[in-house]
Amino acid sequence: MNKILEYPHSSSIEEKIKEALNELGIDFIPQYKIDSYKVDFYLPFFHCVLEVYGCAWHACKACAIDFPLIDDAVKVRERDELREYYLRYHGYEVLVMWEHDVRKKDFVERLLDILESSEYSDNTILSNLL
């Protein structure tokens, strides 16, 4: 069976992140529109964008998925870079969580690690969540 077909629709990983953010009490706006882009989550407190990248759709290097469902891997990565660059240029920090991390048991800790890496994060507030 094709490995890609085993991945559920990417919205299910977004649901997991939604639940985790709710549990952590972190405000977010899903499917937030920034100019012509729609981002997975906007976190007002961090003034950042949190993108959840499906390994197949975003040609994940870690999972060695070089045959994404759309275009070719190089094009997919270039488009993601351009989008991230655009958002950063307009003052948003961009944090990315990959599907293979969302699938791990300790993904909430991984999510916290990513949030802690935000330059806008106030670590005292985050440490209160732990």
For residues 37, 40, 44, 46, the Cα torsion angle rounded to the nearest 10 degrees is -110
Identify the residue among 23, 47, 62, 127 touching Zn ion (CB under 5 A): 62
> Which x/- pattern, by CB under 5 A, does the window 85-124 give for Zn ion?
-------------x-x------------------------
Confirm if 7 and 54 have CB atoms less than 8 A apart: yes
Q: Give the distance, in angstroms, between the CA of residue 28 and the centroid of all CA atoms in the same chain.
A: 13
Q: Does 4 bind Zn ion (CB under 5 A)?
A: no
> Shortest approach of Zn ion to residue 125 CB, angstroms?
29
Give CA torsion, residues 32, 49, 98, 38, to 10 deg.
30
Q: Identify the residue among 21, 43, 48, 55 touching Zn ion (CB under 5 A).
A: 55
* Residues in touch with Zn ion (CB under 5 A): 55, 60, 62-63, 98, 100
